[in-house]
């Protein structure tokens, strides 16, 4: 057999393979936004089971949002939603302004744990476990998403507590937590960023740690009057049903240490690490929350819709326990404050969990106040986003 007889069939096969690849979609084309077939139909979620204070009402803002977690609002009214297990970032629109979503786009479904999202000056920031992406001019390109800019790709990559919650502070810094890569360990001796909350300039430069000893924060906000950072923290496991508590904390000074892994709840020495440092060395929580309630999103009410007494309170999405013998959490709680002192801790919305059957139909994740003062709540179990409103109850006629 001559060389030409071997060469020509090989070249023919190569040409066929090249032509097949050129006819198929490129990576960027394959990942272009896809619209979910969405209708503004009544939801079948049993919202009548939920208990709210008098005058408050809860409705579905959007459903069919698989794994809905962190939320960020764009400047043109687009609600961006991240997920933890679904690899997806959504864009949700209410085009007729009736406070019910009428269009849902899947912006990207190829990401690695894109829980954290933030919006700044037209750009959407998305945090994966070890890197941060930025989609520029995103609201004007929802149907033709630009290639993302990699802001950084050098954070720890462990998936244990690796998912991020991110937000821009009043200082225009981007805040990024790094959870401990374990249930209990002194991971900061390996990398000081573990068990911390960091911040940086929008381009990823000038990174620093603002809070140490934070086991796993998946929600934080800034006080509307003081501008101070407040955050939730998930307590460790395997110390029993009722200890240690989860926490609501306040950062009064950059660099404060909040106790992990040595001390929990301000007074409880860890059975493995508590003999190394005393609890008095650390900043105590503003409020100890229920054990294993898994507090995530936290917000202070803004706008004029909620009654004045709620404006001195922190609302917290308690995602709910995963290994407690009787489940706890599965609600939105409220910590009432006098200044920086907690004077009350109670339910604001409850009923996602049936205490008798131990079955749940929802798990609150993140909170976001709209311009009109109403509250959005994401739910990654019910795949929904709720809207909470308030209207003064009508006086009963004698």
**pLDDT tens readout for residues 310-357:** 989 999 999 999 999 999 999 999 999 999 999 999 999 999 999 999
Burial (CB < 10 A; 0-12, 13-18, 19+), residue 53, is: middle
Q: 193: which 2 tokens?
A: 């960023």
Which domain range does residue 376 map to?
28-64+139-390
pLDDT of residue 13: 43
DSSP string covering 120-177: ETTEEEEE-SS-EEEETTGGGGTTSPPPPEEEE--S---STT-----EE-TTSPEEEE
Q: 317: which 2 tokens?
A: 């999405």
Distances (CA, A) of 250 to 100, 172, 257, 357: 34, 19, 11, 36
Residues forming a β-bridge with 349: 332
Name the residue among 230, 177, 181 with its Cα closest to residue 207: 177
Residue identified by tokens 């969990």 is: 353
3-state helix, strand, coil in the chain (%, to 5): 10, 35, 55
Report if residue 261 sits inside a domain. yes
Question: What is the tally of structural domains in the chain?
Answer: 1
Is 324 in contact with 305 (CB distance < 8 Å)?
Answer: no
Report if residue 134 sits inside a domain. no
Please state the pTM of the whole predicted model.
Answer: 0.91
Q: 111: which 2 tokens?
A: 């990401």
Name the residue among 96, 87, 106, 95 with its Cα closest to residue 37: 106
Q: Which residues contact 373 (CB under 8 A, 6 or more apart)?
A: 301, 302, 303, 304, 305, 306, 390
Report if residue 365 sits inside a domain. yes
Report if residue 106 sits inside a domain. no
Report if residue 126 sits inside a domain. no
Cα–Cα distance, 155 to 178 (Å, whole number): 8
Report if residue 110 sits inside a domain. no
∠ at Cα 40 (36, 42), nearest 5°? 120
pLDDT of residue 328: 98
pLDDT tens digits for 110-127? 999 999 999 999 999 999
Q: Going residue by residue through the chain (398 aa), what tens digit of pLDDT does each one get?
A: 443 443 444 343 433 343 333 333 333 444 678 888 666 667 899 999 999 999 999 999 999 999 999 999 999 999 999 999 999 999 999 999 999 999 999 999 999 999 999 999 999 999 999 999 999 999 999 999 999 999 999 999 999 999 999 999 999 999 999 999 999 999 999 999 999 999 999 999 999 999 999 999 999 999 999 999 999 999 999 999 999 999 999 999 999 999 999 999 999 999 999 999 999 999 999 999 999 999 999 999 999 999 999 989 999 999 999 999 999 999 999 999 999 999 999 999 999 999 999 999 999 999 999 999 999 999 999 999 999 999 988 765 55
Q: 259: which 2 tokens?
A: 């106790």
Report if residue 7 sits inside a domain. no
Name the residue among 250, 247, 242 with its Cα closest to residue 263: 247
Report if residue 385 sits inside a domain. yes
∠ at Cα 232 (189, 274), nearest 5°? 40
Cα–Cα distance, 213 to 217 (Å, whole number): 10
HSE-CB of 68 using CA atoms within 13 angstroms: 31
Cα–Cα distance, 294 to 331 (Å, whole number): 10
Task: Using the Cα atoms of residue 345, residue 346, residue 349 and residue 355 in order, give the sign of their dihedral.
Answer: positive
Q: 203: which 2 tokens?
A: 């381009």
Q: 49: which 2 tokens?
A: 């089971």
∠ at Cα 328 (379, 66), nearest 5°? 15
CATH, residue 180: 2.120.10.30
What stretches of the chain show up as alpha helix (H) in DSSP?
3-23, 27-30
């Amino acid at each position: 057999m001559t060389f030409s007889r071997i060469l020509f069939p090989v070249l023919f096969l190569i040409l066929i393979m090249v032509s097949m690849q050129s006819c198929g979609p490129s990576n960027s084309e394959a990942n272009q936004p896809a619209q979910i077939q969405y209708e503004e139909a009544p939801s079948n979620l049993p919202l009548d089971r939920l208990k709210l204070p008098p005058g408050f009402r809860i409705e579905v803002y959007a459903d069919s949002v698989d794994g809905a977690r962190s939320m960020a609002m764009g400047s043109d009214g687009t609600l961006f939603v991240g997920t933890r297990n679904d690899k997806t970032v959504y864009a949700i629109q209410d085009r007729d302004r009736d406070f019910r979503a009428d269009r849902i786009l899947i912006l990207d479904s190829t990401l690695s744990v894109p829980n954290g999202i933030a919006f700044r000056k037209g750009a959407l920031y998305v945090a994966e476990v070890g890197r941060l992406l930025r989609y520029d001019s995103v609201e004007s390109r929802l149907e033709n998403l630009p290639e993302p800019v990699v802001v950084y790709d050098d954070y720890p990559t462990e998936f244990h507590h690796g998912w991020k919650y991110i937000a821009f502070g009043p200082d225009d810094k981007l805040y990024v937590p790094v959870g401990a890569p374990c249930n209990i360990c002194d991971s900061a001796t390996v990398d000081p960023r573990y068990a911390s909350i960091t911040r940086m300039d929008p381009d990823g430069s000038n990174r620093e740690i603002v809070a140490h000893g934070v086991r796993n924060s998946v929600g934080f906000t800034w006080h509307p009057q003081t501008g101070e950072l407040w955050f939730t923290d998930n307590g460790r496991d395997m110390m029993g049903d009722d200890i240690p508590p989860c926490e609501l904390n306040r950062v009064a000074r950059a660099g404060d240490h909040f106790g992990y892994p040595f001390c929990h709840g301000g007074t409880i020495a860890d059975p493995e690490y508590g003999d190394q440092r005393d609890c008095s060395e650390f900043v105590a929580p503003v409020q100890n929350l229920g054990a294993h309630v898994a507090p995530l999103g936290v917000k202070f009410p803004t706008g004029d819709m909620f009654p004045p007494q709620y404006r001195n309170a922190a609302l917290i999405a308690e995602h709910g326990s995963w290994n407690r013998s009787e489940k706890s959490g599965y609600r939105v709680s409220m910590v009432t404050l006098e200044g920086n002192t907690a004077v009350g801790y109670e339910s604001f919305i409850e009923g996602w969990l049936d205490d008798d059957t131990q079955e749940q139909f929802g798990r609150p994740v993140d909170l976001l106040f709209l311009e009109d003062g109403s509250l959005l709540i994401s739910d990654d179990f019910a795949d929904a986003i709720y809207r909470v409103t308030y209207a003064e109850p009508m006086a009963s006629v004698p």
